[in-house]
Amino acid sequence: MTIALWCILVAALLPFAYTIIAKVGHEAGVRRLNRQPRVYQAELTGYRARAHWAHLNGIEAFPPFAAAVLVAQFVRAPQGLIDLFAVAFIVLRLVYGAFYLTDKPPLRSITWFLGLACVIGLFVVAAIA
């Protein structure tokens, strides 16, 4: 299995790390939080709210990334470029999450855009192949 295909798994699981950040250590306790998660999520503030939003954005970012990797693999684009864009996407998503949690909107937006550029780059290398 290629590095890029492993990155699909990482990208699929990464949003759940932010859910853990939003819940662990909360005074209500995880059991209560899981009883009515939508109510809990709507009441979040501070870094917990931002962790939840990073979770949602990770779920939104996953389908185009996974599709781009699979398309590039399918058409046999250069594997080195596929892996490069896929790893860069994962690194950028981690940095994006850190900027989200630490409330740095301009840096977060730049990082989000660079992640999108990786997805576009995957489709471009697939189109050229």
In CATH, what number is assigned to the domain containing residue 102? 1.20.120.550
One-letter amino acid at 48 equals R
Entry pTM: 0.93
Structural domain range at position 116: 3-128
For 10, the token pair is 């990482």
Chain centroid to Cα 76, Å, comes to 25
| Each residue's pLDDT tens digit, 86-105 | 999 999 999 999 999 999 99
According to the model, what pLDDT value does residue 9 have?
A: 98
For 126, the token pair is 């697939």
pLDDT over 90 at 14, yes or no: yes
3-state SS, residue 24:
coil
What confidence category does residue 27 fall into, taking pLDDT thresholds of 50, 70 and 90?
Answer: low
Q: How many domains does the chain have?
A: 1
| Each residue's pLDDT tens digit, 103-127 | 999 999 999 999 999 999 999 999 9
Print burial letters for 6-21: b (CB count within 10 Å at least 16), e (below 16).
Answer: ebbeebeebbeebbeb
Average pLDDT over residues 49-73: 97
